[in-house]
Structure 1
């Protein structure tokens, strides 16, 4: 009898230990917000006032729809990209003070939205390692822009945030997961993005709609305007 009791206690302890381990692992989320900080090297900060540089990136996601928004000058300038797989469509939104413009286009292989149009493809090393980042199980790999193989940077990504093909039609399309750490380069300006927070929250479908006060422009106009902002 005592032996049976001891066995039951042992099984209970094991089950409790397993449940404790499981509870510490973050659950996969399919709706919420990711907030990133943007860092710059000392050379950039020595020639450009940090106050006018983009300071943050926010990604909202729900049902595979995403909107990525980067801003500068305390929100006076914002660039957003809306991705809607159900419509197979990207939309770029640009706000420069009171001027508000947008351009929509279908998914096309090998074609990037206006924000990425002048950015080379990112190549990925074959060595991938496991890591933990802000509570998520991630992969870490080194990447580089195709035109500058000597300048490598770390890319951190996870499969625990449920967004299908999150890097579709971007220079990072070879990364199979949501990136929590990566670099972007606009002209000679290199930006280092690091997620500081991932929060599960309800996202209204209106977040993925084109605001009514935005005016439609063509792809070339949008690309040229974004390029001018990078000077």
Structure 2
């Protein structure tokens, strides 16, 4: 279903590419960013608003990052955790009463899954600047694949989080964290805009795998990806 693919793609694409401007506060070490998720009107008319995810939460502390999004009225929660110190990625999937997780080398599965069918990513810097929550951000246009059917604009800051957040990803030329961006996923146009940015107060335990989650193997995780990609 397009909704499930959109939910999964928002979570893991942002986990991959997240991680100049003149900020009013320093958020270099730790903080929380909340994004509003906005859909095209024609998409909202097809699916009940209660099933569409409307918020995405990013939490980071030094070299750790958590990206979480909830959909389908709370029945599905997807969490992507990066730990650069240990060079690990954790994938947490909650489907109704099932809670599963998988750990791999940093970014290996998410990058291969999201871009296996893409022949390349073209990043074109733009001269447009925009102030978002007090941050004057640079912009760029991203095109996925030679056909150019998937394009989105981003506005990003280099003053939030750790340096080189996109290292070893297809988005390495982007030197900053996105505060506003759009994507076309399964013919659905989705916009994400940062609605709040809060410094500090992120507990280290936020980046741990909850004890009630059971480990799944790689094959099961890939089957989950296929399920969401239908």
Q: Same fold (TM over 0.5)?
A: yes
Of structures 1 and 2, the one with the larger relative CO (CA 8 A, separation 6+) is: 2
Give the TM-score of the pair, scaled to structure 2: 0.78
Paired with 2:149 and 2:229, the residues of 1 have a C-alpha distance of 23
Q: Secondary structure at the match of 1:118?
A: helix
CA shift for structure 1 position 64: 2.1
Deviates more, 1:206-215 or 1:146-155: 146-155
Question: Which stretches in structure 1 are left out of the alignment for 5+ residues?
Answer: 1-23
For 2:12, the equivalent position in structure 1 comes to none
CA shift for structure 1 position 182: 1.7
Q: Cα gap change, 1:148/1:219 in structure 2, threshold over 3 Å: closer, same or farther?
A: farther
Mapping for residues 166-181 of structure 1, pairs under 5 Å: 166-168=165-167, 172-181=171-180
Q: Secondary structure at the match of 1:152?
A: strand
Paired with 2:48 and 2:206, the residues of 1 have a C-alpha distance of 31
Q: Secondary structure at the match of 1:50?
A: coil
User: For 2:114, which of 118, 129, 141 is the aligned residue?
Assistant: 118
Paired with 2:184 and 2:113, the residues of 1 have a C-alpha distance of 12
Question: Which stretches in structure 2 are left out of the alignment for 5+ residues?
Answer: 1-21
For 1:197, the equivalent position in structure 2 comes to 196
Q: Cα gap change, 1:104/1:216 in structure 2, threshold over 3 Å: closer, same or farther?
A: same
Q: Cα gap change, 1:171/1:221 in structure 2, threshold over 3 Å: closer, same or farther?
A: farther
For 1:27, the equivalent position in structure 2 comes to 25
Give the TM-score of the pair, scaled to structure 1: 0.78
Mapping for residues 50-129 of structure 1, pairs under 5 Å: 50-107=49-106, 111-113=108-110, 117-119=113-115, 120=118, 122-129=121-128
CA shift for structure 1 position 165: 3.2
Q: How many residues align?
A: 205
